[in-house]
Structure 1
Amino acid sequence: MPALETSAGQRVLVTGANGFVALWVVRVLLEQGFTVRGTVRSESKGRHLDELFGSYGDKFEWVVVEDIVKEGAFDEAVKGVHAIEHTAAPISSTSDDPDGESSFVRLSSNNVNNGLLEYLKPSVEGTLSILRSALKFGTDIKRVVVTSSLAAVMRTVTEPPVIFDEDDWADEFVDTLKREGRKASEQVKYFASKTLAERAVFTFYDAHKSQINWDVATVLPPVVLGPTLQDVKKSSDLTGSPNLWYQKVVKDQDDDPLNTTPFYPYVDVRDLAAAHVNALTKEAAGGKRLLICAGSIGWQDTRDIVYSLRPDLYESGVLPRGKPDSKTSILWDYNGEKAKSILGLEYRDIKHIALDMITDFERRGWLSRDSV
């Protein structure tokens, strides 16, 4: 299938446009000359987009899609667009029930490895919703890029080190969730939901490719770091990966249930946004899983890097040193070279990312011990 050859006259739909990653995707698209239509869940969320992108005039618009899993939720939004960047998805559920936001009601007796699912919940159904709307009304669409996660390639590591790539799938966690149900850990629910949602993308495409003129690609990011464009007034409003990094590096807390390991894979949000946009314009990206990862690093190693860049923040007692004598073993890593080559990417290193984040936090007044 042909990709978007030029930005001229091309309108791209970005779902969940007020999200951490999506805002940077919108910005890169507009900078490259695309016209963008973003979806948000309420008018109040759309007003911040007007503040950020109002200077682009009629090159940017937003529409409200209140419930992404509702039948026909995206029917109007997909009309007249030439590509879709689907970034809207629940992150995780705080419930102990796999019927929560990050999971599904139940699986059919069919083979999960073939992606044959009977009842799906928002993580999966939200993805299928946009694809169904594209099937019905996306007559001008050439490509749909869907955000997945490195969680969808994971498996239990018993003999480290292990290097994961696009050939790996986290089906192990789907099986565990089927077996354990509501008793499954939050991590299992999250990994399973991401795996189910991504498999659903390719299953849907394979079932309908004779009826459509577009193809699909999935983008699999790790912990996404970097400065935020979101309307965040205080540090306690941070969500997702930026909040995790803030708690670990600035507050020296280790209580996140989804990140119990002493290390993490990372990429800069600006590089991920470039990956999303390039996935629309590179023909070779069609039909691919694109694993986006700059590397992996320990949390204490991160604190040590920040210390080397800004020793004044530690000498003044603003930032914690953690345990500088500790060493971190990377038990598993991810090979992001395939996507890097296909998409023509250059990843920022962790020193660059860490300095930009600390600078952003400092500018916002979030480095003081009593900041909230």
Structure 2
Amino acid sequence: MPTISPKDKVLVTGANGYIGLWVVQYLLERGYKVRAAVRSDNKGNTLEVLFKEKLPEQAANLEYVLVKDIGAEHAFDVAVKGVAGVIHIASPMTLEIEDPQELIGPAVGGTLSLLRSALSHGNDLKRLVITSSVKAVLGPEPRTYTEEDWADYAVKEVEEKGKAADKMSAYCASKLLAERAAWSFVEEHKPSWDISVLNVGWVYGPTVNDPASPAVLPSTAGLFFQQFFTVRDEAYSYPAAQNYIDVRDLAQADIKALEVEAAGGERMIIASQWGTWQHWLNAAAELNLLPKLDKWDPKRSEGRPARVASNEKAKRILGITFRTIPETLRDTLDDFRPRGWLKDWEA
């Protein structure tokens, strides 16, 4: 499949989200034309205003298209016309559910809706990148996982327990089933374009926009602030151990997956390294950051069993270098500091 390059037009779903904003920014900076899929005119207008301020010379290359319900039939018919690439990010990210189908239905439906529209109307399309999750890869056992692994245990739990299934298992199942649906669709229909799937870790790092307070930080950026600064009890280790990725590295990986020919037809884990919240606290101490922050026990995570997601394939194919915990932490705090969010923990 011919590679995609700057000057091509790329559709980004979930464009106004935490990850999507970084993808849009990097695409514009690299010279791409960007079509941002958003749910409302208000979100589209906000996006345009943001990038007119941040990238005034490139903002003319940004347009938006309304996709009010990603799971609706023909939802992306207009959005995919005339684009050479698609980066699909939009998917439900919440554990506030009563039934696993609240996650599974939109995740699978949104992916298939996009693929059907691409098949029927994506006459210029070359590649579609799906941003999935490492949760579709990891099993329950502590070991090293690769792209050959699937989190089938989660699907089994949802099938057996239904509404009583663990909510995180429901989320894992939604990501796995959406990804498998994509691969099955391509195998069945054999479109002229190909797909690449990125299985990403927990996403942390700075934001593109300027949230008014920590309470409105998007997605896992809000989880980071909550866990790092406000939670101090026995549940503090949640997520007990995680494979994480800097949001900026993920955005670059999404774009690389469009551009690198060898990424076509591949499933790649996008995660920097494994760690617990104690590792982040240790990094803060080593960098002499936030002297008033409770650092807990520096040895608290030693010997903890780990489910490690290998990133060797992504590094080899995409040629990217991932930021470390200290690097992401430093830049995230630099993002928070001008807003006055760190004053309670600084000297």
> For this structure pair, what is the TM-score category when the shorter chain's length is used for normalisation?
over 0.9
Partner of 1:204: 185
Q: 1:313-352, aligned counterparts within 5 Å? A: 313-314=290-291, 317=292, 319-328=293-302, 329-352=304-327
**Residues 284-315 of structure 1: per-residue CA shift (max 9 Å, x gap):** 1000011111101121121111122234x22x
Partner of 1:301: 279
- 2:226 is the counterpart of 1:226: no
Partner of 2:332: 357
CA contact (8 A) 2:241 2:275 kept: yes
CA contact (8 A) 1:251 1:320 kept: no
User: Which deviates more from structure 2 when the two are superposed, residues 166-175 or residues 57-66?
Assistant: 57-66
Partner of 2:166: 185
User: Could you list the runs of 5+ residues in structure 1 that have no partner in the other structure?
Assistant: 104-120
CA contact (8 A) 1:25 1:276 kept: yes
- CA distance in 2: counterparts of 1:261 and 1:228, whole angstroms: 21
How many residues of Structure 1 are paired with residues of Structure 2 in the alignment? 340
Question: Residue type of the partner of 2:295?
Answer: R
Q: 1:150 aligns with which of 134, 138, 148?
A: 134
Partner of 1:286: 264
User: Which deviates more from structure 2 when the two are superposed, residues 51-60 or residues 279-288?
Assistant: 51-60
Q: 1:109-258, aligned counterparts within 5 Å? A: 121-157=105-141, 160=142, 162-209=143-190, 212-253=191-232
- CA distance in 1: counterparts of 2:174 and 2:64, whole angstroms: 28
- CA distance in 2: counterparts of 1:125 and 1:255, whole angstroms: 38
User: Which deviates more from structure 2 when the two are superposed, residues 164-173 or residues 88-97?
Assistant: 88-97
Measure how far apart 1:369 and its partner are. Answer: 4.8
Q: Secondary structure at the match of 2:3?
A: coil
- CA distance in 1: counterparts of 2:250 and 2:155, whole angstroms: 26
Partner of 2:253: 275
**Residues 247-300 of structure 1: per-residue CA shift (max 9 Å, x gap):** 12122346889x734322111111111110010111110000111111011211
TM-score normalised by L of structure 2? 0.93
Q: Secondary structure at the match of 1:14?
A: strand
Question: Residue type of the partner of 1:204?
Answer: F
**Residues 106-165 of structure 1: per-residue CA shift (max 9 Å, x gap):** xxxxxxxxxxxxxxx1011011111111011000000000010000001121xx3x0011
Q: Secondary structure at the match of 2:238?
A: coil
Partner of 2:6: 7
Q: Secondary structure at the match of 1:47?
A: helix
- CA distance in 2: counterparts of 1:334 and 1:19, whole angstroms: 25
CA contact (8 A) 1:149 1:221 kept: yes
Partner of 2:78: 76
Measure how far apart 1:52 and its partner are. Answer: 2.6
Measure how far apart 1:330 and its partner are. Answer: 4.3
Question: Residues 326, 255 of structure 1: CA spacing in aligned structure 2 closer, same or farther, 3 A cutoff?
Answer: closer
CA contact (8 A) 1:146 1:218 kept: yes
Identity %: 41
CA contact (8 A) 2:100 2:171 kept: no
Question: Residues 174, 49 of structure 1: CA spacing in aligned structure 2 closer, same or farther, 3 A cutoff?
Answer: same
- CA distance in 1: counterparts of 2:92 and 2:107, whole angstroms: 6
- CA distance in 2: counterparts of 1:330 and 1:74, whole angstroms: 43
CA contact (8 A) 2:137 2:145 kept: yes
- CA distance in 2: counterparts of 1:283 and 1:188, whole angstroms: 34
Q: Secondary structure at the match of 1:38?
A: strand
Partner of 1:118: none
Question: Residues 361, 255 of structure 1: CA spacing in aligned structure 2 closer, same or farther, 3 A cutoff?
Answer: farther
- CA distance in 2: counterparts of 1:79 and 1:239, whole angstroms: 29
Question: Residues 346, 306 of structure 1: CA spacing in aligned structure 2 closer, same or farther, 3 A cutoff?
Answer: same
Question: What is the root-mean-square deviation in Å for CA atoms of aligned residues?
Answer: 1.8
Partner of 2:243: 265
CA contact (8 A) 1:248 1:254 kept: no
CA contact (8 A) 2:87 2:254 kept: yes
**Residues 167-210 of structure 1: per-residue CA shift (max 9 Å, x gap):** 0001111111001000001011011001000101101111111x
- CA distance in 2: counterparts of 1:261 and 1:71, whole angstroms: 36
CA contact (8 A) 2:112 2:181 kept: yes
**Residues 199-231 of structure 1: per-residue CA shift (max 9 Å, x gap):** 01101111111xx31000111110111101135
Question: Residue type of the partner of 1:143?
Answer: R
Question: Residues 165, 264 of structure 1: CA spacing in aligned structure 2 closer, same or farther, 3 A cutoff?
Answer: same
- CA distance in 1: counterparts of 2:114 and 2:68, whole angstroms: 13
